Structure 1
Amino acid sequence: MVKQERAARTRQSLVRAAAEVFAREGFVSASLTSISRRAGVSNGALHFHFESKQALARAVEEEAAAVLREIGRSSGGHSGALQHLVDATHALMSSLDQDPVMRAGFELSCGFPRRADGVDLRGQWRGWVEQVLRDAEFEGALAHGVSAMDASVAVVAATVGFEQLGAGDPKWTSGATLAQFWDLMLPRLASTAALPRLRSAGTLSAQ
């Protein structure tokens, strides 16, 4: 059991170190030696857990995907689908700002050259947003004339844009920037009955 726990910690250290090196140097330029050195382990230990740099990148993306799924689950409450969406966007941007694995995961999954075994994190996010907006449409929370698919295009485009811009300037992934976006978006997106209950700054920060 002790060996298993130590192995799990080493693997986690390698994934985090790889994320930090990939984010700083890019996938192509990053070396396994740099990653093992940053993790504080030998090259042999690295190769015990990961057979290649591609395998490490895949592990970073898969961990980021797990975080993304957890954001979708944990940000939901009893305030309806639209508030769920607002809260999830805040959680996503906060994670991108604070977690190198999330930042590197998104950069890797959308980078060039595209890896055949890469995880499509933006595609997963798009699918989740579309589903939540369909839920909002079913609840009657969308404004008259607004469809879930039309709304998802705007929300995905904006949040992916914030993610991209935030790689160079963290103000784009800040809660203030996202709240400004929702202040503009919600009056057009939400029904008159749903709008007064929505918090553009999210509800999680108030808990």
Structure 2
Amino acid sequence: MVKQERAARTRQALIRAGAEVFAKEGFAPASLSSISRRAGVSNGALHFHFESKKALAFAVEAEALEAVRQVVRDAQGGDDGPLQALVAATYGLMGRIADDIVVRAGFALCGVPGQGKPPSLRREWQCWVEETLRRAEADGWLAAGISPGDAASAVVAVVVGFEVLGSEDRSWLSEQKVTGFWDLLLPRLTERARPAVGGGSAEQVRGETA
């Protein structure tokens, strides 16, 4: 049991070290020796857990993907409707990208040539946004003339844009940026009581239904 716990800690340290190096240097320039040094383990220990740099990158993306799925689960935990869940999830996702190096590196690794087909965080996010907006339309939340597909394209493009820009300027990942986006988009999306913005609050700002 002690040996298993030590192995699990080593593996986690390598994933975090890999995330830090991948986020800073990129996938191609990153070396396994620099990752093992950062993790405080030998090259042999690294190869015991991961047969290649690609395998380590896959593990980083897989852990980041689970974190994104947890953000979505948390956002769906209330009873305030699909649009509120969508708003809350964008705040949660930006917060995780800003604060969690593994999530940040997982997004940075998306689409890196030569990696095969690792889990795609951006694709996962896109599918969930599309599904949530289709549900919003079915539940009568979207304003007349609003296409869930077009709305999803806007949300996905802006959130991925924040993520990419945030790799160089962390202010793009701030709550203020997310609030500004939703203050602009929500009045166009819905004519019903609009979900509250600001930290992904589950409270709703009541208004007159058209």
What is the TM-score when the length of structure 1 is the normalising length? 0.94
Matched, 1:170 2:170: yes
Instruction: Give the AA of the match of 2:178.
Output: L
Which residue of 2 is the match for residue 36 of structure 1?
Answer: 36
- The answer as to whether partners of 1:82 and 1:141 remain within 8 angstroms in 2 is yes
Which residue of 1 is the match for residue 208 of structure 2?
Answer: none
- The answer as to whether partners of 1:71 and 1:91 remain within 8 angstroms in 2 is yes
Deviation at 1:109, TM superposition (A): 1.4
Which residue of 1 is the match for residue 123 of structure 2?
Answer: 123
Which residue of 1 is the match for residue 2 of structure 2?
Answer: 2
Matched, 1:200 2:201: no
Deviation at 1:118, TM superposition (A): 2.4
Which residue of 1 is the match for residue 98 of structure 2?
Answer: 97
- Number of matched pairs: 201
Deviation at 1:78, TM superposition (A): 1.1
Q: Which runs of 5+ in 2 are unaligned?
A: 204-210
In structure 2, C-alpha distance between the alignment counterparts of 1:203 and 1:128, rounded to whole Å: 20
Instruction: Give the AA of the match of 1:88.
Output: A
In structure 2, C-alpha distance between the alignment counterparts of 1:69 and 1:98, rounded to whole Å: 16
- The answer as to whether partners of 2:80 and 2:202 remain within 8 angstroms in 1 is no
Would you identify which runs of 4 or more consecutive aligned residues in structure 1 move more than 3 Å? none
Which residue of 2 is the match for residue 15 of structure 1?
Answer: 15
- SS, match of residue 144 in structure 1: coil
Instruction: Evaluate the alpha carbon distance shift between residue 123 and residue 152 of structure 1 in structure 2; reply closer, same or farther with a 3 A threshold.
Output: same
Instruction: Evaluate the alpha carbon distance shift between residue 18 and residue 176 of structure 1 in structure 2; reply closer, same or farther with a 3 A threshold.
Output: same
Which residue of 1 is the match for residue 184 of structure 2?
Answer: 184
What is the TM-score when the length of structure 2 is the normalising length? 0.92
Q: Which runs of 5+ in 1 are unaligned?
A: none
In structure 1, C-alpha distance between the alignment counterparts of 2:7 and 2:104, rounded to whole Å: 24
